[in-house]
């Protein structure tokens, strides 16, 4: 390949990468493959129809000794891998949280991998370092976080929360970075508080940090699954008397099971009075700060010490991208920064690897930038509102259905319900078994995929709306499958369908209450 | 878009994702863009020529309210973002470690983002869960790790090492998961050992785990920068007498500064005798286990408790993918597994989120699979050998140059050296300043990018070879720039060039000794 004088020859082709011609050929084929896939994810059953081991047994036990044509590899994607895919991009995916790998996000990941930026230092990727700062500021402004919050991108909310708790530990126990926790007479047992609905990543965080699972005290919730501030206050007082040292509270805006919203403002009052770190987990619900009509859920957030929201959950971002915000980021850096000689640079710039445990950092901000530009703030809001509207409509249908029972309020886009048949008295265990079987029957259709939780001990089916492809048709299909499962045959179905349609008439998100 | 009866309509277009037609159009344009980029990364200066803030100031302060055409976004990539890219894919990138985003890896990331697999549970992505198991077994076999090692993929070596140390802590302090470290009379101060050349991620790990930085004792190295087992043994004995409890040793195969190799077998003897966890950090050097002639560096690895190797370093994998192997993975799971109700599944399969702190898991194994298949084991070996050959040739040239001094052995593909001019006596500080200025002058060329370290207090320039595009021409360019910098003018250069050429004649990797 001839090049100009100033461009030295690189590695010989047989020891280099794929040629540019081959890259074009395979790249274009892959674009066609992905376009077909994304356009027709509904050709596949949502939930993979394989048993554990089915994929592995179709793969060779050893890597090939000789390289293979890329065409052969792509053929095996179809033949060997695709049967093992659970289709998170399927319009009927309504399990866990509905998430979306939107096209601009997928393109951004493609480009980020090609650029292979590693933003451990500013100089190793000025663009990734600065685009991270800019896009996180964009997101903060959209959500309503004041400028006192500085942002950084991690991979997952588990890691974001871990950094929040680590900094809370550092703030509470001066010198813990240097001297640690064991063998010190001056460090009492530390306590972290969250509700009984809080995500399990908090549990993992306190375990990893050496606080121990005992350090996490779970505060009971009210009938809407919100942390009870009165019981939080009592717990802190009790603990202080018993020799624990309270250090942090985790409140959630949009819990995993029901998307309930803890009373952040009241919890912030307590944290201020007690001088505790307040971390707010908005991994799922946080993006709704973009909707003025939802801001009520966010009152008090501006007083938090740290906050996490995951664009890979409900901001149409391919997995993974967790946005962490902190009002005390200098303390976080004090807890983590270390600069060995080989990482010293003369530019005086802020290096992102000082803001956490991970030295290496993929160019994740590129996807947040492309997504916010492609959809625009207004486009994002419209999509969030549509998901909330669909959830509200589905909740109304559940409420109107004589054989169904809604088990939680619907502040965002997740509906928890169960079948509870008229005139049939079942034991709690039988009712759970009936609903579990119902969910599996629905999932076996291949058209939709729902997950479950337990609420006050009862098995609850969850319908989580958040995928860009999900629309009314998928919810009608859930209604059909649920109706079939509770014995409402098709002839008797009109009222339900009407309910969905009628509730679709009064637009606007609003919160569906119990 | 008409669909069959069984495929329900999804979201209305104005509330959905990019249309399939647009996806094709923009996707094909992006393939062309990336193909051009990867074919001519050398059009750009390797190291971005911007000052801190230069990229951010060209970006708007707010996200756009209305969505923009994807073409406009891609134009801004060229106009606004590219000036801030430091080109890790440039053939002249020889700083830190030479890494490569190979084409099959870039394609795999593109596909992984489109499939948006989230492998927290087997059922949420059977393919990601099982392909991870299979490809990690492939890699283990290639490297020579026995089947007693089970693998899991994390994002970075920092996180891999953190899990190793967390499990070592759990093994040493029964109940630490539940009861933590503070306020316990039964937990003495814990000690972890590594060499003075070990990566800073070990420091961050002990800090995060609550052991404190004091808990890390750095063992001096010998004249080849290898941990001295005799001093390790002494340190452990001293610590036991002083009331510390030794729990783990971190040995490195390929340290960051010089790629030195700790004597793993001797360290394993000590760990067995003292009942300490042995973690081996092969983040960079680990892939060389694939070369029979390099297996000498890996003797004793089979007795380690855990091992990390990063395909994103020297296995042509776009950032990020760290492969963690453990002989006691059940203990790691015991330290971390937690299954809240909403994650319970009926399939009885092993769920990867039990193997660590991160619940969400991107489909990273896809790139390892595509890379191993596309290049084949033999193709990978040939490329590793070529990089080692180039490094050896460059080291020979340094050794033959009267004004240069090599500062470390070259077991792999990194050469550390400095200028030390004949007949000019400089103070250590002046010598450091001269070499630092030399490095910056070389980097200012835009043709190559070198980084530095300090060795026994002396400033050392590092040439790290590992990018698939790097070839002889780039090393000749380094030679030219170094020669210019030390005052060897072009007319006097032939001997050096001859040295590179002649050492290229005797093929085969081998180790260049001091």
Query: What pLDDT, in 10s, does the model give residues B201-221?
Result: 999 999 999 999 999 999 999
Q: How far apart are CA B36 and CA B34, in angstroms?
A: 5
Which of B429, B390, B417 lies closest to B510, judged by CA?
B390
How many angstroms away from the CA of B172 is the closest CA of chain A? 12
User: Rounded mean pLDDT of A294-308?
Assistant: 98
Q: Going by C-beta distance under 8 Å and a sequence separation of 6 or more, which residues neighbour residue B161? A: B199, B201, B202, B205, B250, B279, B281, B308
Q: Which of B109, B127, B312 sits opposite A109 (nearest CB)?
A: B109
B111–A30 CB contact, under 8 Å: yes
Q: Which two tokens stand for residue B70?
A: 């994807």
DSSP labels, A490-512: GGG-HHHHHHHHHHHHS-S---B
Pairing assessment for the beta strands B245-252 and B449-455 based on DSSP bridges: unpaired
pLDDT at B497 over 70: no
pLDDT at A512 over 60: no
ipTM: 0.94
Q: What is the pLDDT of residues B469-483, one digit of tens each?
A: 999 999 999 999 999
How many angstroms away from the CA of A434 is the closest CA of chain B? 15
Q: How far apart are CA B385 and CA B508, in angstroms?
A: 7
Q: How far apart are CA B120 and CA B32, in angstroms?
A: 34
User: Rounded mean pLDDT of A23-37?
Assistant: 98
Q: What angle do CA A309, A315, A318 make, to 5 degrees?
A: 100
Rounded to the nearest angstrom, the gap between the alpha carbon of residue B230 and the centroid of all alpha carbons in its chain is: 29
Find the DSSP H helices in A79-156: 103-115, 126-143
Q: How far apart are CA B97 and CA B431, in angstroms?
A: 25
Q: Is A458 helix (H, G, I), strand (E, B) or coil?
A: strand
Q: Which of A34, A88, A112 sits opposite B111 (nearest CB)?
A: A34
B171 vs A13, which has greater pLDDT? B171
Which of B274, B15, B180, B201 lies closest to A360, judged by CA?
B201
Q: Which residue out of A3, A15, A211 would a mutagenesis test of the B interface target, given it has the greatest number of B Cβ atoms within 10 Å?
A: A15
Residue whose pair of structure tokens reads 């159009």 in the numeric block: B25
Give A155's contacts in chain B (Cβ within 8 Å).
155, 358, 360, 362
Query: Residue A12: exposed, middle, or buried by beta-carbon count in 10 A (0-12, 13-18, 19+)?
Result: exposed
- Which residues pair with residue A489 across a beta bridge? none
Residue whose pair of structure tokens reads 């100033």 in the numeric block: A6
- Of A112-121, B260-269, B337-346, the one with minimum mean pLDDT is B337-346
A27–B34 CB contact, under 8 Å: yes
Structure confidence at residue A41 (pLDDT): 94
Residue B4: which pLDDT band, with cuts at 50, 70 and 90? very low
Quote the DSSP letter at residue A349: -
The mean predicted confidence, pLDDT, of chain A is 92
- Which residues pair with residue A150 across a beta bridge? A326
Q: Are B419 and B391 in contact (CB under 8 A)?
A: no
Q: How far apart are CA A27 and CA B110, in angstroms?
A: 10
Percent of chain B past pLDDT 70, that is, above it, reads 93
pLDDT at B20 over 80: yes
Q: What is the pLDDT of residues B103-117, one digit of tens each?
A: 999 999 999 999 999
Pairing assessment for the beta strands B414-419 and B404-406 based on DSSP bridges: antiparallel
A67–B378 CB contact, under 8 Å: yes
pLDDT at B490 over 60: no
pLDDT at A504 over 50: no
Cis peptide preceding A225, ω within 30 of 0: no
Q: Which of B18, B360, B375 sits opposite A320 (nearest CB)?
A: B360
B190–A210 CB contact, under 8 Å: no
Which of B243, B221, B240, B242 lies closest to B230, judged by CA?
B221
Q: Which two tokens stand for residue A441?
A: 């029957």
B423 vs B214, which has greater pLDDT? B214
Q: Are A475 and B9 in contact (CB under 8 A)?
A: no
Q: Which of A38, A176, A189 sits opposite B114 (nearest CB)?
A: A38
B333 vs A494, which has greater pLDDT? B333
Can you point out the beta strands (E) in B362-510? 404-406, 414-419, 449-455, 458-464
Which of B227, B487, B91 lies closest to A16, judged by CA?
B91
A376–B63 CB contact, under 8 Å: yes
Query: Residue B3: exposed, middle, or buried by beta-carbon count in 10 A (0-12, 13-18, 19+)?
Result: middle
Q: Which of A70, A86, A379 sits opposite B125 (nearest CB)?
A: A86
Residue A343: which pLDDT band, with cuts at 50, 70 and 90? confident
Give B381's contacts in chain A (Cβ within 8 Å).
none
User: Rounded mean pLDDT of A128-148?
Assistant: 98
Q: Which of A30, A111, A122 sits opposite B52 (nearest CB)?
A: A122
Q: Which two tokens stand for residue B152?
A: 């899991």
Q: Which two tokens stand for residue B272?
A: 């067995």
Residue A10: which pLDDT band, with cuts at 50, 70 and 90? low
**Residue of chain B minimizing CA distance to A169:** B210
Give A27's contacts in chain B (Cβ within 8 Å).
31, 34-35, 107
Q: Is A121 helix (H, G, I), strand (E, B) or coil?
A: coil
Q: How far apart are CA B451 and CA B432, in angstroms?
A: 14
Q: Which residue out of B67, B105, B455 would a mutagenesis test of the A interface target, given it has the greatest number of A Cβ atoms within 10 Å?
A: B67
Q: What is the pLDDT of residues B301-317, one digit of tens each?
A: 999 999 999 999 999 99
Q: What is the pLDDT of residues A188-238, one digit of tens each?
A: 899 999 999 999 999 999 999 999 999 999 999 999 999 999 999 999 999
Which of A512, A427, A491, B9 lies closest to A483, judged by CA?
A491
pLDDT at B500 over 90: no
Structure confidence at residue A290 (pLDDT): 98
pLDDT at A278 over 70: yes
Can you point out the beta strands (E) in A49-116? 93-94
Phi and psi dihedrals of A251, rounded to 5? -105, 155
Q: How far apart are CA B214 and CA A6, in angstroms?
A: 51
Residue whose pair of structure tokens reads 């007949």 in the numeric block: B423
pLDDT at B155 over 90: yes
How many angstroms away from the CA of B332 is the closest CA of chain A? 11
Percent of chain A past pLDDT 70, that is, above it, reads 93
Quote the DSSP letter at residue B92: T
Q: How far apart are CA A74 and CA A31, in angstroms?
A: 12
How many angstroms away from the CA of B216 is the closest CA of chain A? 10
Rounded to the nearest angstrom, the gap between the alpha carbon of residue A168 and the centroid of all alpha carbons in its chain is: 23
Structure confidence at residue A259 (pLDDT): 98
Q: What is the pLDDT of residues A139-182, one digit of tens each?
A: 999 999 999 999 999 999 999 999 999 999 999 998 899 999 98
pLDDT at B383 over 70: yes
How many angstroms away from the CA of B393 is the closest CA of chain A? 15
Pairing assessment for the beta strands A93-94 and A449-455 based on DSSP bridges: parallel
Quote the DSSP letter at residue A41: G
Q: Which residue out of B115, B308, B335, B479 would a mutagenesis test of the A interface target, given it has the greatest number of A Cβ atoms within 10 Å?
A: B115
Give A347's contacts in chain B (Cβ within 8 Å).
51-52
**Radius of gyration over every alpha carbon of chain B, rounded to an integer in angstroms:** 25
Give A357's contacts in chain B (Cβ within 8 Å).
158-159, 162, 201, 204-205, 208
Give A509's contacts in chain B (Cβ within 8 Å).
none
Residue whose pair of structure tokens reads 């047994």 in the numeric block: A57
- Which residues pair with residue B153 across a beta bridge? B323
Q: Going by C-beta distance under 8 Å and a sequence separation of 6 or more, which residues neighbour residue B358? A: A155, A156, A158, A159, B154, B155, B159
DSSP labels, B314-358: HS---S--EEEEETTHHHHHHHH----GGG--TT----GGGSSS-
Q: How far apart are CA B176 and CA B331, in angstroms?
A: 12
- Which residues pair with residue B253 across a beta bridge? B261
Which of A81, A33, A85 lies closest to A58, judged by CA?
A81
Work out whether the CA dihedral A55, A57, A60, A63 comes out positive or negative. positive
User: Rounded mean pLDDT of A118-132?
Assistant: 96
Structure confidence at residue A499 (pLDDT): 47
pLDDT at B507 over 60: no
B212–A176 CB contact, under 8 Å: yes
B11–A468 CB contact, under 8 Å: yes
pLDDT at A44 over 80: yes
B142–A312 CB contact, under 8 Å: no
Q: Is B442 helix (H, G, I), strand (E, B) or coil?
A: helix
Work out whether the CA dihedral B147, B151, B157, B161 comes out positive or negative. negative
Q: Are A459 and A429 in contact (CB under 8 A)?
A: no
User: Rounded mean pLDDT of B270-276?
Assistant: 98
Can you point out the beta strands (E) in B41-107? 93-94
Q: Which two tokens stand for residue A319?
A: 């997995």
Cis peptide preceding A495, ω within 30 of 0: no
Q: How far apart are CA A68 and CA B104, in angstroms?
A: 11
Q: Which residue out of B18, B42, B63 would a mutagenesis test of the A interface target, given it has the greatest number of A Cβ atoms within 10 Å?
A: B63
């Amino acid at each position: 390949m001839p090049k100009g004088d100033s461009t030295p020859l690189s590695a010989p082709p047989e020891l280099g990468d794929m040629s540019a011609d081959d890259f074009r050929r395979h790249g274009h084929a892959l674009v066609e493959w992905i376009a077909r896939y994304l356009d027709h994810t509904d050709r596949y059953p949502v939930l993979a129809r394989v048993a554990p081991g089915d994929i592995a047994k179709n793969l060779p036990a050893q890597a090939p000794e000789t390289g293979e044509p890329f065409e052969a590899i792509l053929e095996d994607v179809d033949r060997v891998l695709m049967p093992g895919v659970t289709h998170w991009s399927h319009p009927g995916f309504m399990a866990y949280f509905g998430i979306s790998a939107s096209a601009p996000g997928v393109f951004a990941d493609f480009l980020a991998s090609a650029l292979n930026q590693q933003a451990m230092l500013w100089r190793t990727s000025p663009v990734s370092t600065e685009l991270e700062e800019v896009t996180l500021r964009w997101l903060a402004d959209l959500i309503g976080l004041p400028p006192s919050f500085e942002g950084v991108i991690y991979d997952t909310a588990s890691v974001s929360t871990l950094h929040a708790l680590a900094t809370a530990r550092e703030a509470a126990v001066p010198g813990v970075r240097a001297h640690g926790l064991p063998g010190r007479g001056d460090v009492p047992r530390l306590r972290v508080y969250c509700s009984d609905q809080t995500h399990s990543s908090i549990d993992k965080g306190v375990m990893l940090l050496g606080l121990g699972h005992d350090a996490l005290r779970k505060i009971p919730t009210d009938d809407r699954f919100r942390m009870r501030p009165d019981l939080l206050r009592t717990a802190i007082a009790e603990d202080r008397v018993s020799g624990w040292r309270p250090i942090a509270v985790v409140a959630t805006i949009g819990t995993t099971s029901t998307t309930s919203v803890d009373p952040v403002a009241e919890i912030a009052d307590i944290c201020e009075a007690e001088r505790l770190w307040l971390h707010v987990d908005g991994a799922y619900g946080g993006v709704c700060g973009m909707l003025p009509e939802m801001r009520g859920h966010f009152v008090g957030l501006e007083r938090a010490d740290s906050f996490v929201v995951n664009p890979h959950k409900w901001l149409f971002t391919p997995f993974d991208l967790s946005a962490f915000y902190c009002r005390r980021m200098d303390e976080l850096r004090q807890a983590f920064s270390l600069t060995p000689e080989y990482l010293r640079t003369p530019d005086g710039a802020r290096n992102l690897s000082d803001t956490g445990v991970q030295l290496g950092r993929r160019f994740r901000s590129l996807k947040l930038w492309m997504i916010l530009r492609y959809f625009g703030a207004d486009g994002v809001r419209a999509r969030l509102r549509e998901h909330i509207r669909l959830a509200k409509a589905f909740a109304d249908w559940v409420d109107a259905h004589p054989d169904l029972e809604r088990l939680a309020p619907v502040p965002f886009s997740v509906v928890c319900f169960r079948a509870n048949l008229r005139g049939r008295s079942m034991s709690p265990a039988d009712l759970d078994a009936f609903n579990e079987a119902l969910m599996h029957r629905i999932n076996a259709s291949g058209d939709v995929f729902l997950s479950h939780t337990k609420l006050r001990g009862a098995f609850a089916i969850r319908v989580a709306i958040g995928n860009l492809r999900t629309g009314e048709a998928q919810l009608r299909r859930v209604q059909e499958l649920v109706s079939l499962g509770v014995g409402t045959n098709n002839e008797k179905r009109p009222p339900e369908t009407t309910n969905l349609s009628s509730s679709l008439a009064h637009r606007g998100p609003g919160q569906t209450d119990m």
